[in-house]
Chain A
Amino acid sequence: DTAVSQTPKYLVTQMGNDKSIKCEQNLGHDTMYWYKQDSKKFLKIMFSYNNKELIINETVPNRFSPKSPDKAHLNLHINSLELGDSAVYFCASSQEVAGNTQYFGPGTRLTVL
């Protein structure tokens, strides 16, 4: 069984479009995260939710809006996509709020043309 799953795996879209990436974890964890990994492989945290509540919100353009319908799901919606949004987006989860043992999803490779 997949612990942290993301859909879609690949997303190719035009500039200006709006897209969503979905994430689900079946580990029973309370905290979920979104990371962005750029072409240089740097992992940058974007958001973190604990029990559906936003606890980390890094300096991310407000075109990015996370939504957590329940503690097992954390979706990421991106409005007005730009070329610089092209990256791999990883969802992760951990048991605790400041959990250091994070379990990552397989990633969503977003390409903006």
Chain B
Amino acid sequence: GQQLNQSPQSMFIQEGEDVSMNCTSSSIFNTWLWYKQDPGEGPVLLIALYKAGELTSNGRLTAQFGITRKDSFLNISASIPSDVGIYFCAGQPNAGNNRKLIWGLGTSLAVNP
């Protein structure tokens, strides 16, 4: 099935560092979403983006919906140990009755205290 290109695949950083990850697609999306999955849990929505160019923050997290509608990035500032987990981007296509979410392969983040 269709997938998003999400990078990097994994990151290992020191506490306090800033983190950036992104997702790209060959097709246009109507919506971009960023989810976080803690170890042993299900994914939880962090940020939802609905308009091209939109920049949205949630605490130390900032995400942007690319102007071309084919990409999005997520930044985490001043990382802390509880930021550990897998971050997934997901996009929703522009049309069709069955507009299921298309998921990236995830970015695994490890934070060294």
- Chain A residues with a Cβ under 8 A of chain B: 4, 40-45, 48, 55-56, 58-59, 90, 92, 97-98, 100-107
Contacts and interface: CB of A to CB of B under 8 A. Distances in A.
A106 B108 CA distance: 18
- Main secondary structure, interface of A, reads loop
A42 to B, nearest CB: 6
Interface stretch (B60-68, B70-78, B86-94): B86-94
B31 interface: yes
Interface of B: 1, 3, 31, 33, 37, 40-45, 48, 86, 88, 90, 92, 97-101, 103, 105-106, 108
Contact of A107 (B3, B42, B90): B42
A60 to B, nearest CB: 11
B9 to A, nearest CB: 10
A100 B90 contact: yes
Contacts of A59: 1
B31 to A, nearest CB: 5
B100 A45 contact: yes
Given A41-B105, A101-B48, A106 B31 contact: no
B86 to A, nearest CB: 6
Nearest to A40: B105
B98 A55 contact: yes
Contacts of A100: 31, 33, 48, 90, 92, 101
Contact of B44 (A97, A98, A104): A104
B106 A41 contact: yes
A56 B98 contact: yes
A90 B42 contact: yes
22 contacts: A41-B37, A41-B86, A41-B108, A42-B3, A42-B103, A42-B105, A43-B88, A44-B103, A45-B100, A55-B98, A90-B43, A92-B42, A98-B92, A98-B98, A98-B99, A100-B33, A100-B92, A100-B101, A101-B33, A101-B45, A104-B43, A106-B40
Nearest to A58: B1
